[in-house]
């Protein structure tokens, strides 16, 4: 999947009149996510705290963190794209400095997903931020 920016996502979501259309857009984003190979879908890559299975792997390229993510749930794959727009191919400092709360607020997402999905989203963000802080 080509990297999409947080601003592109926010602009695209503004275009839709209702949350049903926004969900379809998020699901479509998830369909573009490159699947993680089965060999990388290991227990140590599972993100704890998610309702669905979510796998997270990271590589470092120069000073950038490259994340590989996947989920067994199509809507979660879309949510992962939203998170990756904020964090993928960024430096550890950029990840730590990014205002994820402000971004989520602009998305108005948490009012429209279940509390368990919201908790899972926070678990993914916490794991990424912890990896970034460890890299600083």
As a whole number, mean pLDDT of residues 102-108 equals: 95
Tell me if residue 50 is catalytic: yes
Q: Residue ranges of the domains in the chain?
A: 6-135
pTM for the whole thing? 0.94
Three-state secondary-structure class, residue 120: helix
Residue range 6-135 forms a domain whose CATH class is alpha beta
Does residue 1 have a pLDDT over 60? Answer: no
26, burial (CB in 10 Å: exposed 0-12, middle 13-18, buried 19+): buried
Name the active-site residue from 29, 50, 92, 132.
50
| 3-class SS of residue 37 | coil
Q: Pinpoint the alpha helices (H) of 32-135.
A: 74-87, 92-97, 100-107, 115-135
In this predicted structure, the answer to whether residue 114 has a pLDDT above a threshold of 60 is: yes
């Amino acid at each position: 999947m080509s990297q999409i920016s947080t601003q592109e996502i926010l602009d695209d979501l503004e275009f839709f009149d209702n949350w049903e259309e926004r969900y379809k857009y998020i699901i479509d984003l998830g369909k573009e996510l490159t699947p993680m190979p089965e060999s990388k879908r290991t227990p140590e890559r599972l993100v704890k705290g998610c309702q669905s299975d979510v796998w997270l792997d990271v590589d470092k390229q120069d000073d950038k963190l490259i994340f590989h993510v996947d989920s067994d749930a199509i809507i979660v794959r879309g949510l992962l794209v939203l998170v990756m727009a904020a964090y993928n191919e960024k430096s550890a400092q950029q990840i730590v400095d990014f205002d994820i709360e402000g971004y989520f607020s602009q998305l108005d997402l948490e009012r429209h997903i279940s509390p368990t999905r919201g908790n899972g989203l926070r678990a993914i963000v916490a794991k990424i931020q912890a990896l970034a802080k460890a890299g600083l």
